[in-house]
């Protein structure tokens, strides 16, 4: 018998938390076969699962390998759902350019932030690690990004973040492109000083990004 929508959503969330790619795909397929709303599948199913996984990480129940497996399950469900999103839902997403600043190759935290942002419906372009400041700005201009998200774990490379903010200022882009920063040595006061916004972890980064694109926070 066909499962109802709420039941499918809950099962999808659970299969993401339980890192089960195959089951997530199966449930997502069943969901689209029933012609339920695609956006809800992401928001109330897949993303909810990822959100719970994030909580388990904070509680030291899950670690990075588990989170990566959850995100694999989430992405495999997303593949099935994506073609069924209404056109407007697909193109209306806010865009973010993310990367690790020049000189630094610590990218595990950045990868987590990227996963959480994508899960929450952002269109994320990942430049990778060890990225010169100008490349962030060029890419953001090219794809009309709303936000640049910068990560670093080393104190020696923090000034790369400041440089990105500086270039945006010089090019008069600070209103159009907001900057979000994070990583071990980064603090709110550092972010304030360079004209960026700070969040301490991947889950909070999502909330911050949502506020920033809604323009609730101004520099």
Q: Can you tell me the distance from the alpha carbon of 144 to that of 135, in angstroms, rounded to the nearest whole number?
A: 14
* From other proteins, ligand B12, none, interface partner of 63 (C-beta below 5 to 8 A by class): other proteins
Residues belonging to the chain: 219
- Residues 54 and 62: their CA atoms lie apart, in Å, by 8
Count of residues in contact with other proteins, rule CB under 8 A: 26
Contact 28, 77 (CB under 8 A): yes
Among the residue ranges 34-42, 131-139, 165-173, 179-187, the one whose residues contact ligand B12 (CB under 6 A) = 179-187
Nearer to ligand B12, 15 or 152 (CB): 152
147 binds ligand B12 (CB under 6 A): no
Confirm or reject binding of residue 156 to other proteins (CB under 8 A).
yes
According to DSSP, the residues that pair with 191 across neighbouring strands are none
By CB under 6 A, is residue 66 in contact with ligand B12? no
Residue 113 binds: one of other proteins, ligand B12, none (C-beta under 5 to 8 A by kind)? ligand B12
Sign of CA dihedral 103, 107, 110, 114: positive
Q: By the 8 A CB rule, do 136 and 150 touch?
A: yes
Position among 201, 210, 211, 213 found at the interface with ligand B12 (CB under 6 A): 201
Q: Is 34 near other proteins (CB under 8 A)?
A: no
Residue 154 interacts with ligand B12 (CB under 6 A)? yes
Which residues neighbour 60 within 8 Å (Cβ) at sequence distance 6 or greater?
none
**Which residue intervals of the chain are DSSP H helices?**
5-17, 21-33, 38-40, 47-58, 64-81, 87-91, 108-119, 133-143, 159-170, 188-194, 202-213
Interaction between residue 134 and other proteins (CB under 8 A): no
Residues that bind other proteins (CB under 8 A): 19, 60, 63-66, 68-69, 72, 102-105, 107-108, 111, 130, 154-160, 184-185
Residues that bind ligand B12 (CB under 6 A): 64, 103-110, 112-113, 149-151, 153-156, 180-185, 199, 201-202, 205
């Amino acid at each position: 018998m066909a499962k109802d929508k709420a039941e499918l959503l809950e099962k999808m969330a659970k299969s993401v938390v339980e890192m089960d790619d195959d089951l997530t795909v199966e449930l997502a397929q069943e969901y689209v076969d029933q012609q339920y709303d695609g956006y809800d599948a992401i928001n109330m199913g897949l993303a909810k699962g990822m959100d719970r996984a994030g909580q388990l990480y904070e509680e030291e129940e899950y670690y990075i390998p588990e989170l990566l497996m959850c995100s694999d399950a989430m992405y495999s469900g997303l593949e099935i759902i994506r073609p069924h999103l209404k056109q407007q839902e697909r193109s209306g997403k806010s865009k973010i350019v993310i990367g690790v600043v020049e000189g630094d190759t610590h990218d595990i935290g950045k990868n987590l932030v990227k996963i959480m942002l994508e899960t929450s419906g952002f269109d994320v372009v990942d430049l990778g690690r060890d990225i010169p400041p100008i490349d962030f700005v060029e890419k953001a201009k090219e794809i009309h990004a709303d936000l640049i998200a910068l990560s670093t774990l080393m104190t020696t490379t923090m000034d790369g973040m400041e440089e990105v903010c500086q270039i945006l200022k010089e090019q008069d882009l600070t209103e159009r492109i907001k900057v979000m920063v994070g990583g071990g040595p980064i603090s709110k006061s550092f972010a304030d000083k360079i004209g960026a916004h700070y969040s301490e972890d991947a889950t909070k980064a999502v909330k911050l990004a949502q506020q920033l694109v809604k323009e609730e926070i101004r520099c």
